[in-house]
Amino acid sequence: MQLSVIILNYNVRYFLEQCVLSAQAALQHIDGEIIVIDNNSSDDSCQMMKTRFPHIKLIENNENTGFPKGNNIGVAQAKGEYICILNPDTVVAEDTFTKILNSQLLTPNFQLGIIGCKLVDGTGKFLPESKRGIPTPWVAFTKIFGLYKIFPKIQLFNRYYAQNLSEHQTGEVDVLVGAFMFLKRELYNQLGGFDENCFMYSDDIDLSYRALQNGKTNYYFSKTTVIHYKGESTVKDGTYMKRFQEAMEYFYSKHFKKSAFFSLFMKSGSYLFAFLKKSKSVVSNRNIDSYILISQNELLKERLEKLLGKNVSRLYINFKNELPSLLKGINSNVEVIFDQNDLSFSTIISIMECCKSERVTFKIIPNQSNFMIGSNSSNDRGEVILIND
């Protein structure tokens, strides 16, 4: 078997459904499998998986074991030569896995560690954490105090988000994000998987760093784009701040020489960083002025108009030409709704990237589903709207 896709879920039932649909489509021409691990969700995630995807392996944990252990449990049952650690609040394109499997990075010339890819949020905006440097004390300092924004082209200050590479440029990086990590199963096992002493948050940094220590090279692969709604995975409350701080302190104590000054700096720095993340976590109550549906289904248009209480414009045949011109220079809030019954995920992702704007938001109606889903900000929990028949 070529590839095992590992998806760890906790209480994000609708995002999980869309993620599995996209992964399933991306594995259509690959000898692969999907393994979903549920960390004792209180929603109906497991029931949804059993009803809609009975052929997909589901592991039901009876407690929330955390990100590292949950993924390790899944990988232990994987059969693929390669594995992809995939967040449930992601959407992969139909050709994402094929492009990586066919890339030069998998040839013997490369001492392959972990591959990450281009991630965008629910508005099509590039997520800079797609590629990162090792957060040494200095690099962490440049992040916490925003020096990477002030001096984006100076290497001394731009390493946190690996700004030596543009978002469109494939190349070597130090750290990749746990939302999408592609590597050989043999290497994952060699490294001992994710460190289970860290409940979450620094686990992807730690695994990336240990791959480097093992003589491997990590790569950012720019030729495919994946949506990562991001804010849906975690509610950024007091518990988040505490766990984030503990995670960063654990990573530094594990890999760097400690001193009293270093400990004080990292404790205050990680607390400030966590506080800033929490302060950004606000639900965006955005008033939508108009809706555009990309679908060939006229009845769906009528249903959405009843549901939303506003007129919905429908495009289909020439939407790739019409939509950009409609959105150009707009001064009102527009939401574009994609009917994935008629569109591929890769088409949806490419349109989101090319039409991104402060005024434009997006929702997707997944194939044969009764809801639409999206997120207006990487700091939001995301939004699910049920569509009645």
Specify the higher pLDDT residue, 253 or 361: 361
**Helix (H) or strand (E) segment spanning residue 346:** helix 345-354
Nearest to 4 by CA among 145, 184, 189, 129: 184
Res 241: pLDDT:
59
Report helix, strand or coil for 317. coil
pTM: 0.91
Contact 89, 229 (CB under 8 A): yes
Contact 247, 199 (CB under 8 A): yes
Res 56: pLDDT:
98
Specify the higher pLDDT residue, 199 or 218: 218
Q: What is the pLDDT of residues 262-304, one digit of tens each?
A: 666 666 666 666 666 666 555 556 799 999 999 999 999 999 9
Candidate from 2-11, 73-82, 89-98, 156-165 with smallest mean pLDDT? 156-165
Contact 217, 108 (CB under 8 A): no
